[in-house]
Amino acid sequence: MENRTTTGASIHWAAEMHAQEYRDGKLSRREFLARATALGVAVPAAYSMIGLAAPARAATPVSQGGTLRIQMEVHGLREPRLYEWSEHGNITRGWLEYLIHYNNDGSFTPVLAESWETSDDAKTITIHLRQGVKWNNGDPFTADDVVHNFNLWCDGTVEGNSMATRMGPLVDPDTKKAIEGGIVAADEHTVVLNLPAPDITILAGIADYPAAVTHPSLNGGNPVDNPIGTGPYMPESYSVGEKAVIVRNPDHTWWNEGNGAYVDRVEFIDYGTDPATVMAAVEAEEVDMTYESIGEFIDILDGLGMVRSEAATAATIVTRPNQSAEVDGKKPYEDPRVRRALAMAVDNAIVLELGYAGRGKPAENHHVSPIHPEYAELPPLVVDPAGAMALMKEAGMENYEHELISLDDGFEKDTTDAVAAQLRDAGFKVNRKVLPGSTFWNDWDKYPFSSTTWNQRPLGVQVLTLAYKSGVPWNETGFNNEEFDKTLTDASAIADADKRRVLMKRLEEIMQEEGVIIQPYWRSIYNHSRPGLVNAEMHAQFEIKYQYIGFAE
């Protein structure tokens, strides 16, 4: 195998170049950290390059043991590459670990991967694995296990496997499986990815929650039924819609022993989607931390003495017409004039205020955030209800009744109500339908017209690939556009965010021109925890790393 791995010297040179761009004001701190750590520079060294000290993890909890009770919905579980909700990854995170983690400051840190390097041409990624790690059944953790997982992730023939979308050029477009020679175990603790074309999203993809590293024996099964993993915990019980209980595994020595696994037991308790019920549980001291605190209950929980944590994010909610969905034998949202009319009738700033109490920033209907390094600023959106009705009449759809569906969860319902109200003000007929989670989640990606929340992802090209590329599992809009797909592929191969921004501008324009989504706002996200709970801060991507949470004395 040809060795094209970037040397330590060239990694350092490239990172120093980015550090100078940061000092010159050309890069934000977040973007510098993302670039430097993706190259393989350790977080402390990356901070040192720009004259700052790396933020330390909160003080180690003094007390060992105890039960941590977390309010969070407990969804039905299946194999990790098919996970659709952050809650899935949170529950299994205690025994199924990841190669790398994404942090709120934009950096990537190693977990089962000890380090990684990217070649000068960005076509080779070399991943060095931690040595001495064992699965909890006693098997050694090796490069063959990681190759096995990459092959699973690349398998686009498995329905619902969103990881195949994240693997980019490692997936053969003809076979929909891993390309030959693309994933190689160079030795027992080294994996080399040989990409036919550069793709800057690969590392960010393996930090996302469906990328939990599984033992080969899982073989497509439920990880609760076959809980072989490398982490310090094990599942004790799992009841959908009620509770999942995770306990410390006394028969397994964790590779990071002494630096976590502080509590003996973790209970994820499902109180449903009504924030008032969650608040009552907190007030009754039934939980120690919330998965997410929303709306007016943020201030109420503050008043109960809970500790608020906030993360400014690229998390969002989109109201989207599904272009491929049929209603009574017709596709009502196939015509871009209909979609543009819907978007033109909605003032995103008003929806932010009514739907999320102003706790965020208005968005621009293209799902690329100012937080994303390649974000391109476009002219302000035009809100024109009269023009929207004229466009709808031109499409012959002025008398069509739109059924707008949402989850019954607080801000999702309120936001969708606000969108519906503005559509009605423009003269459109709208029937609102609110569904409980047990019903909504079954068909979240198939409804003709509905609202869905989306987590933050580190890169704009990453989220566009996951959500809007033709034919991918999470494309809930039915969007299929050849120019968009090609431009997105080209943009994903460009490491320099300034150069990538040129193509991103066109991608954002296509999203707006095609009326793909109504995206009201980018939202700040919050959680609350009891005083004395350590390392329970809100994560930008809703990750709860309970192996590092504990109680101070």
Show me where the domains of the chain are located: 8-56+98-211, 313-524
Q: Which helix (H) or strand (E) holds 439?
A: helix 437-440
pLDDT at 50: 78
Which architecture does CATH list for 313-524? Roll (3.10)
pLDDT at 58: 59
pLDDT at 5: 37
Average pLDDT per 10 consecutive residues for the chain, totaling 553 residues: 41 72 77 77 82 70 89 95 96 98 90 92 93 97 98 96 95 96 97 94 94 96 97 97 97 94 97 88 95 90 94 93 96 98 98 94 96 94 97 97 92 96 98 91 93 94 97 96 97 90 98 98 95 94 95 86
Give yes or no for a contact between 246 and 236, defined as CB atoms under 8 angstroms apart.
yes
The DSSP string of 38-75 is HHT--HHHHHHHTT-PPPPPPPPPS----EEEEE----
What's the topology of domain 8-56+98-211?
A: Dipeptide-binding Protein; domain 1 (3.90.76)
pLDDT at 49: 84
pLDDT at 166: 95
Which residues, in sequence order, are bridge partners of residue 102? 108
Distance CA 249, CA 264 (A): 9
CA 342: distance to chain centroid?
Answer: 27
pLDDT at 473: 94
Cα angle: 139, vertex 142, 143; to 5 degrees: 155
pTM greater than 0.85 (yes/no) = yes
Closest CA to 448 of 328, 544, 347: 328
Residue 368 burial (CB < 10 Å; 0-12/13-18/19+)?
buried
Enter the DSSP assignment of 179: P
Which residues, in sequence order, are bridge partners of residue 246? 235, 266
Residue 412 tokens, joined = 């999702």
